[in-house]
Amino acid sequence: EPEVTQTPSHQVTQMGQEVILRCVPISNHLYFYWYRQILGQKVEFLVSFYNNEISEKSEIFDDQFSVERPDGSNFTLKIRSTKLEDSAMYFCASHRSPTYEQYFGPGTRLTVT
């Protein structure tokens, strides 16, 4: 069964460093998302991506964040200068269209020290 994959599973970085979180969505999906979950809190929407451009972003997704689909398979989230408060689990998700359920990856746990 197809699945969304994410790498790395755990990333530790120092404050101020750049990180890139990688995702491989399911191959025939067209809509891509990043969510984050701070420990003990709810899952929050960050950004949606369709047709090679951002379709919607949340207030959390400021200028420090960017997304890219560099080729036909990968979908990346970049944080330019990490802050302590960026420590969270980051989930990638994808689906064929908004009428279908989103499939989530296993997440990347980002720890900023």
The reply on whether position 27 binds other proteins by CB under 8 A is: no
Other CB atoms within a 10 A radius of the CB of residue 70 amount to 9
Binding other proteins by CB under 8 A: which of 45, 65, 69, 78? 45
- State how far Cα 105 lies from the chain centre: 9
Under rule CB under 8 A, residue 52 binds other proteins: no
Asked if 90 touches other proteins (CB under 8 A), the answer is no
Question: Out of 29, 35, 61, 67, which residue is the one contacting other proteins (CB under 8 A)?
Answer: 35
C-alpha to C-alpha distances, 65 to 6, 8, 40, 103, nearest whole angstrom: 18, 18, 22, 22
Amino acid letter, 94: S
Can residue 65 be called a binding residue for other proteins (CB under 8 A)? Answer: no
Strands 53-57 and 31-37: unpaired
How far apart are alpha carbons 91 and 93 in whole angstroms? 7
Applying CB under 8 A, does 48 fall inside the site for other proteins?
yes
C-beta of 44: minimal distance to other proteins in Å? 7
Binding site for other proteins (CB under 8 A): 4, 31, 33, 35, 41-45, 48, 50, 55-56, 91, 93, 95, 97-99, 101-107
